[in-house]
Amino acid sequence: MSLETFEKPDDLYLARGEEVNPLRPLFTGDVVADVAIPGVQDGGTAVVVAHPCSMRGKDAQLEPRVLVAAVAEGGKIGRAAWAGGHFALMPLPDLVEASKLCVARVDDIGKALTEQLVAGTRVACLTPFGVNLLQQRFIWRLTRHEVPTYQLQEVSAHVFEEADLLEEWSDTVCAVGASPERAAASFEAFVRADRGGGNSLQGDLRDPQRRSTVRSACRAEAERVTEEFRCRQGDP
């Protein structure tokens, strides 16, 4: 048995600190400050461990509460030590400070208020590999079952992709003054629209071979929506 580990801290983070895009939807692996976890902590940092599919209900709306794990300082644990030990922890090196280790304590979990997560300061967003590593350690801790990260990636790639596309869409549409809520609603309507035979762009994202087409379609539509919004605003 040997769980996977990171080569360098950058492998784990999509963005940290000021690099985090506030328009990115809340997602598994997001590290948020000032989060109360019932029975665990009244405040402090937490990481979202809920699967992207289970944290959203109908119409892609976030559930009122989302499963998170507490994040704390981690002392000194070498990179190689993670493969065969410290299974109750997920390494978060250089999370807020270079050469300083933080850890997610995967035993200290609970459902935090979504409104607190959304309103809180996002400290970091994990890369797909970071999310898969978190899930691999979580699964091992709960079940003693080792799942390779590439297999977790196969299951979740389409939802990572959708989060990226929503972030890009919001960047484009909100740049002309649309609200993030309006941007998200127009995105959801576009990707979920029935394109005949029960097919949708959201469904197409499950097929790796169709993702490039979906990206191109979303980019073109975001430009169109932006132009439409600009015209309504009276912007020449």
Partner 1 sequence: MTDIATSDPTLITGTLTTSPEQVTRTRTIDEVVAEAAHLRSWARLLGEDVAETNRQMSEMHQQAVAVQLEAKALGIAKQSVGEMLNELANAGFAWRDIAALAGVSVPAVRRWRQGEAPTGPNRLAVARIVALMETLRDDHLVSDVASWMEMPLVADASVTAIDLAVAGRLQEVVEIAAGHSTGEDVLDRSQPGWREHYRSDFEVFEAPDGELGTRPVTRERA
SS3 99: coil
In order, the DSSP letters of 169-227 are HHHHHHTTT--HHHHHHHHHHHHHS--STT--HHHHTTSGGGHHHHHHHHHHHHHHHHH
* Chosen residue from 42, 98, 212, 236 binding partner 1 by CB under 8 A: 212
Q: Does 209 bind partner 1 (CB under 8 A)?
A: yes
Q: Does 158 bind partner 1 (CB under 8 A)?
A: yes
* Chosen residue from 97, 148, 177, 189 binding partner 1 by CB under 8 A: 148
Least separation in angstroms between residue 76's CB and partner 1 is 26
Q: How far is CA 97 from CA 10, 18, 81, 92, 93, in A?
A: 13, 13, 21, 11, 8
Tokens of 153: 């990636």
Binding mask 101-140 for partner 1 (x = CB under 8 A): ---------------------------x------------
Least separation in angstroms between residue 174's CB and partner 1 is 12
Of 129, 170, 158, which is closest to residue 22 (Cα–Cα)?
170
Q: Which is nearer to partner 1, 113 or 147 (CB)?
A: 147
The C-alpha atoms of residue 220 and residue 216 are separated, in whole angstroms, by 6
Binding site for partner 1 (CB under 8 A): 10, 14-15, 19, 21, 53, 128, 147-148, 150-151, 153-156, 158, 161, 164, 168, 171, 206, 208-213, 215-216, 219
